[in-house]
Each structure stands twice: as C-alpha cells, then as structure tokens.
Amino acid sequence: MDDPKPNLNFKNVPLLPEHKKKWSDTMALMAWMAPGFRHLWYRLLHNHDGEYTALMTPECPGGVACTDGKNVIVNPDTYFEYSLNERVFIAAHEVMHNVYDDPGLLWRMRNETHITTTDGKTFPYTSETMQKAMDYRINALLVDSRIGAMPADALYDPKIAAAKEGVFDIYGKVYKQDQNGGPSEPGQKPGHGNAQGKNGFDPGGVQQPGISTGQQPGQAAQQRNGQQWVMEVAQAKHLEQQRSQGKTPGSLLHMFDEILDPKVLWTDHIDTICKRVMGSGSYNWKKPDRRFIGRDLWLPGKGGKGAGWLVIWGDTSGSISATEINRYLGEMRGMIEDAKPRRLTVIWCDAEIHHIDDITDMMDLELVKSRGVGGRGDTAIEPVFDWIAENRDGPPDMFIGMTDGEFSFPAKPNYPIVWASVADTKRGFPYGEVVPINT
C-alpha cells in the first residue's frame, strides 16, 4: 500500500511585481544559456494550472525549490533572493532531477537498507545520503557545463563527484564523508544541492511522486512516460548543440548520451534476448533463491527447465585468448542458470572444431575452463554451422557466437543468432543481433 499523501498546500500564490520581473528575467536567461533545459521544463514539467512554469508557493517543502517528478515547486519568498545566474542554476538543477528521474528512484528505494556500488562495496542506505549524492552529481555537471552560477551553499566537491560519475558510486563517498564528520576540506561547512537556505543540507529537494498533483506516490511514479522523456531529451541535446555551435561541454553530451543510449552490461543484454527468444524456467516458492537469503529475503528459486536448445560458439582463433573466452563464459554463467535451457552445447572452433561440450551442470563449465579449449588458428564458422545442421535434434532455439567477427560469413541459418562481439563493435556482422562485450 502506498504511503499516505502529505497534507501540503500547493496552491499558486500571486507574485509580487518585482518577483514577476525576476521570473521573466530568469526564464529569458535560461532560454539563452540552457535552452535544452528550458525546453524540458516547458514540455514535461508544467503539469498544473497556473501562469508560471513552476508552482509558486511558500509551502515548498524544499525551502527554495523542489520537484516531485511532475512539477517544479518554487518558494518565491526565498528563490528570488538569489542572483539571476544563481536562479538559472537552481532551475536547471531541478530539471536535472527529473531527467535522471530522481523522485522515482528515491521512491523505488524507500524500503532498501543497503546499496552496492559498482566496485562491489556495500553501504547502509538512507534517503538523505542519496539526496546528497544526487545533488553532488547534478551540481558537478552544471558547473562543468557552465550553466548559471552555483550558489555558495550548494553541495559541490570535485573529490566527491565528477561530472560523469554515477550516483551510486558518489553515494559511497558521501556516506564515508558523513561518517568522518563532514566535507573533505577541514573547516568547510556542508551545503546542499538545491540552495535551500544557508544552514546546511535540507533533504527536501526531491519529493516523493504525486505531492504536487494529489496522487498516490506509486500511481504517480508509474505515469512517467519514458519514451516521451527520451524523445524530448533528444530535442534538448539538439538545442544545446545549436547554442554552443558544436562546442557543447563533454560532460553535458555524456549525460544526454547516457539517457538516450544507456550502456547495458553485455550479459544483461544477451539475457534479455535469451528470455525473449527462449523463455526461462518456472519459479518454485518451496525452493528459495540462494542469492537473496543473506539479505533476509525469501524469494522463489528457479524450477524446471527453460525452453529449447542453446548453442554457444567459442571462437578459439589467434585473435582471442583462452583467458578471455573463459572469463566471458564465467560472466555468462548466471545468465545460463536463469535461462535453464533444455540442452546447452558449447562448441570450441577456430578453422576446425576442437571440442564439443554438452553441459548438463554449471560445474561442467568450470571443468571446461580448467581443461583448456585448444585452437589458436584461423577462424571459420562453417564447421560450427555444418555440425548444427547435421545434429539429430534439429536447429537450436538460439545461437550465441563469442567472436571478433574476422571471418567470411556463409548464408544465414534459420535460427536466432546473437554475436557477442569481442571487437566492441556492431560493424561487420551481416545478420544476427550484435552485442559488444563490455566490462
């Protein structure tokens, strides 16, 4: 059940004449300095009745400005105390919270007790620390992109957050900083990302979804149209490139590209294709998933067999080392365990087939890796396709080739093909889905 909605008054208040002038100046400078951000605001964050793009109310829970994923909420009593360039910075900051869907992320993580960074380290989770990490990330991006002027009390520390760094890795550094008693520079007072006053961090810049519209948080979070956001972010990128005449800061381009073309682990990509093509095993509530027992979570384990026959080709030519192939197989192990194919065959071949392993248990993969795979000659895929064509089981339900693609391609067989490309490119493969292997 959703948490109860907070009893907040978000009725727009009339602006004083001087505030109207300052708001008009802010929007005009934002249109010149950050047209992509202003475009996103007008297109996606004006979901209320009112004269202004933002909800103007002294009841803003963020002190100066905040957002719930639907609207930007501004406190006119405090926001207009900042300079023109600082107001543009604060406005762009709130837009960025929505580009990253920070309100939705905080809501989805509301019941978490720990998070894990990309280097495998685990930290206790609090929403306040996550809000700080979000603010550090956004402020680093805006400073690097030269958008407005950062208020003096904003959270910013290059030692904590780089403009291209992920929020979970920043979280780990923020948590350690807080445990050590404060910022990395002795004597420096902690600020906060939304410039919400002069007295330190106020964890109100990112509000739970729905507070500005009267909706339940879960309902509001589910209404975010990801496809529309991608489409408008693409337009925002175009506007920023036009403004900068081809000199858009690299961190800003990285942010746009991260939203438009997110980097997915190659194993996750192949896992998605595999489940789409072959399905996956059923779930058994009597058999817990061992991966979650240590987190006090009783989740169903996989039971039964997935659909079909999966064939994996390990290209053992001289361009790929045995160490690489063994590592790739190890990384695919979890994916294979989830897919639970009826039959799994691994074929080791360069110009000719050296080994064919029918895997009946995941431990067999470890034996294959310790035994070695042979090869190191030229590359040809015809022996692999010929062996499959002659197999009495008929064509496989899916074929995965781990290769650099440096060979002649015969006619396309009549079964789904995925190339796990160690060349980290999608070029040169005339058919099949190509997934560049990344780390």
Question: In percent, how much of the chain has pLDDT > 90?
Answer: 29
Give per-residue pLDDT as tens, 148-188.
999 988 899 988 988 778 888 899 999 998 887 655 444 34
CA distance 196 to 362: 54
Does pLDDT of 226 surpass 70?
yes
What are the backbone angles phi and psi of residue 28, rounded to the nearest 5°?
Answer: -65, -45
* Token code pair at residue 341: 């194919």
pLDDT reported for residue 200: 39
pLDDT interval class at 259 (50, 70, 90): low
118 vs 165, which has greater pLDDT? 165
In Å, what is the CA distance from 84 to each residue of 18, 241, 251, 347?
Answer: 13, 23, 24, 65
C-beta atoms surrounding 269 within 10 Å = 20
pLDDT interval class at 256 (50, 70, 90): confident
Length of the chain: 439
In Å, what is the CA distance from 121 to each residue of 112, 128, 160, 184?
Answer: 15, 19, 16, 20
In Å, what is the CA distance from 203 to each residue of 133, 141, 200, 336?
Answer: 11, 20, 10, 42
Counts of helices then strands in the chain (DSSP H, E): 15, 13
C-beta atoms surrounding 377 within 10 Å = 14
Give per-residue pLDDT as tens, 60-114.
887 899 999 999 999 999 999 999 999 999 999 999 999 989 999 898 888 888 8
pLDDT reported for residue 388: 94
Angle between helices 322-339 and 266-278 (to 10 degrees): 40
Q: Does the reported pTM lie above 0.75?
A: no
In Å, what is the CA distance from 61 to each residue of 68, 139, 196?
Answer: 11, 20, 10
30 vs 51, which has greater pLDDT? 30
C-beta atoms surrounding 176 within 10 Å = 13
Round the average pLDDT of the chain to a whole number and report it: 79
pLDDT reported for residue 320: 67
pLDDT reported for residue 84: 96
Does pLDDT of 35 surpass 70?
yes
pLDDT reported for residue 252: 77
- Asked whether the beta carbons of 312 and 330 are under 8 A apart, the reply is no
* Token code pair at residue 198: 């002069």
- Residue 2 makes CB contacts below 8 A (sequence gap 6+) with 216, 217, 218, 219
Does pLDDT of 196 surpass 50?
no
Lowest mean pLDDT of 20-29, 103-112, 276-285, 424-433, name the range: 276-285
pLDDT interval class at 285 (50, 70, 90): very low
pLDDT interval class at 240 (50, 70, 90): confident
The fold for domain 267-436 equals Rossmann fold (3.40.50)
Q: Dihedral of CA 428/432/435/437: which sign? A: negative
Work out the burial of residue 371: count CB atoms within 10 Å of its CB; fewer than 13 is exposed, 13-18 middle, 19 or more buried: exposed
Per domain, the residue ranges of the chain are 17-260, 267-436
Give per-residue pLDDT as tens, 317-361.
866 666 676 667 776 776 677 677 888 888 888 888 988 888 877
Does pLDDT of 382 surpass 90?
yes
CA distance 45 to 39: 10
- Asked whether the beta carbons of 67 and 206 are under 8 A apart, the reply is yes
C-beta atoms surrounding 201 within 10 Å = 21
* Token code pair at residue 330: 């190890």
CA distance 282 to 20: 60
3-state secondary structure of 413: coil
Of the candidates 57, 41, 8, 438, which has an alpha carbon nearest to the alpha carbon of residue 266? 438
What are the backbone angles phi and psi of residue 149, rounded to the nearest 5°?
Answer: -130, 125
- Asked whether the beta carbons of 55 and 41 are under 8 A apart, the reply is no
